[in-house]
């Protein structure tokens, strides 16, 4: 049973010296005497490893900067991470499982021009965003984890981000949209591009070969980037980003697309929850205090970008959904993520502008994808993620 609000409960690696350089003199390889001596006396790697074999103590594990054997899964120090992995595997699905025939008819015959605009641009934003989420976890975050139970769930997360990208592509292709035009909107529509550029900046700051998480400034930046991806990018922008399609679903339109987004939302809520839990553990183990000014600027930038995005996709409101609803719901969800992080709510007094979301999810096939309990579409037993 996962409890997202549990308080969480963390040394220095040796620096390996580079081997002496071998020099070329008069086109002949010159090997320094010290290196020759080492080469003639060193033991095979396996024998050298055996000299320092001792059991792994789970108490010595750390989220980052750990020194224990990264290849040994158990004993766990973070059993909750393994629980996320087990739950994630109960969420298995593919976009081919959902019938899209009615969506094709709806798009071409039942949607208004304004509703087509919303549908296309939501997919345009999401297609690029899930690739960024995949690159963040797979390339910038996973390799910095020093406990394998964390990496194993993140490996599942990388797969799920790829699956989500396939889902959007499947919807675009099935509906018969111009893929080149839809995929390029993030580059040519400023309001979509703004969100992508903010994300790219955060990713670039930690996707570097020379990053050193023992440096306090680098560590602080890594934590802020992790918070951005978990609490804002996936926890707010994704979570809030599906709502316009759910508004169409509520009126009996684009139900196949909406069902796929419900499966994606279930994954994304787990991703956000896991990321928030990991970052809280890092802060505990490393003794990190967040800079209130930097956190405030992060929330304000995210709201500004979301406001511009909502103004573009909903420049003309659709029945049952407006840009004001979208923005207020972002503020409401941002407060929820801040509470999960244990920090001050950025938008005091914000209220849910979409009270029908939970009701809609509950009424359809007894599913609730909004951070409560899923009772359908799972394999391998009951899925607990409350």
Domains and CATH numbers, the chain: 23-60 (no CATH), 79-363 (1.10.620.20)
How far apart are alpha carbons 2 and 372 in whole angstroms?
A: 11
CB-CB contact of 169 with 162 (8 Å) = no
Known binding-site residues for Fe cation equal 130, 161, 164, 234, 268, 271
How far apart are alpha carbons 374 and 382 in whole angstroms?
A: 8
How far apart are alpha carbons 324 and 338 in whole angstroms?
A: 21
Selected catalytic residue, list 107, 119, 125, 168: 168
How far apart are alpha carbons 127 and 161 in whole angstroms?
A: 10
**3-class DSSP string for 98-149:** CCCHHHHHHHHHHCCHHHHHHHHHHHHHHHHHHHHHHHHHHHHHHHHCCCHH
Q: What pTM value is reported for the model?
A: 0.79
Specify whether 168 is catalytic: yes
Between the alpha carbon of residue 359 and those of residues 46, 252, 377, the distances in Å are: 60, 15, 18
pLDDT (tens, 9 = 90+) of the chain, 386 residues, equals 333 344 333 344 444 444 443 343 344 434 344 333 333 344 444 444 444 577 777 777 888 888 888 788 888 889 999 999 998 888 788 999 899 999 999 999 999 999 999 999 999 999 989 999 999 999 999 999 989 999 999 999 999 999 999 999 999 999 999 999 999 999 999 999 999 999 999 999 999 889 999 999 999 999 999 999 999 999 999 888 899 999 999 999 999 999 999 899 888 989 999 999 999 999 999 999 999 999 999 999 999 999 999 999 999 989 999 999 999 999 999 999 999 999 999 999 999 999 887 665 444 444 444 443 343 444 433 444 33
How far apart are alpha carbons 181 and 55 in whole angstroms?
A: 56
């Amino acid at each position: 049973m996962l409890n997202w609000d549990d308080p969480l409960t963390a040394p220095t690696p040796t620096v390996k010296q580079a081997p002496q350089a071998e020099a070329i003199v008069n086109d002949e390889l010159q090997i320094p005497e010290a290196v020759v001596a080492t080469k003639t006396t060193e033991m095979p790697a396996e024998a050298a490893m055996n000299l320092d074999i001792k059991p792994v103590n789970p108490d010595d594990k750390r989220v980052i900067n750990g020194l224990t054997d990264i290849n040994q899964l158990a004993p766990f120090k973070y059993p909750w991470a393994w629980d996320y992995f087990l739950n994630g595997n109960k969420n298995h699905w593919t976009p081919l499982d959902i019938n899209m025939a009615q969506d094709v008819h709806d798009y071409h015959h039942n949607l208004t021009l304004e509703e087509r605009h919303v549908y296309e641009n939501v997919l345009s934003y999401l297609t690029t965003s899930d690739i960024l989420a995949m690159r963040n976890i797979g390339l910038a975050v996973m390799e910095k984890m020093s406990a394998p139970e964390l990496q194993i769930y993140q490996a599942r997360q990388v797969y799920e981000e790829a699956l989500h990208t396939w889902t959007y592509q499947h919807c675009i292709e099935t509906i018969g949209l111009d893929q080149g035009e839809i995929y390029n909107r993030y580059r040519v529509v400023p309001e979509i591009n703004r969100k992508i550029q903010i994300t790219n900046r955060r990713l670039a700051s930690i996707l570097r070969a020379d990053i050193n998480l023992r440096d306090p400034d680098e560590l602080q930046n890594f934590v802020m980037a992790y918070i951005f991806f978990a609490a804002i990018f996936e926890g707010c922008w994704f979570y809030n980003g599906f709502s316009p399609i759910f508004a169409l679903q509520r009126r009996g339109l684009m139900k196949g697309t909406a069902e796929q987004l419900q499966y994606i939302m279930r994954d994304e809520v787990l991703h956000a929850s896991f990321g928030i839990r990991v970052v809280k553990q890092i802060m505990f183990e490393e003794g990190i205090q967040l800079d209130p000014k930097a956190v405030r600027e992060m929330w304000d930038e995210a709201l500004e970008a979301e406001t511009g995005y909502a103004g573009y996709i909903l420049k003309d409101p659709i029945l049952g959904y407006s840009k004001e609803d979208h923005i207020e719901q972002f503020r409401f969800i941002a407060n929820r993520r801040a509470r999960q992080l244990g920090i001050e709510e950025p938008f005091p007094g914000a209220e849910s502008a979409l009270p029908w979301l939970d009701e809609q999810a509950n009424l359809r096939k007894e599913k609730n994808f909004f951070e409560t309990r899923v009772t359908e579409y799972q394999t391998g037993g009951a899925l607990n993620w409350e």
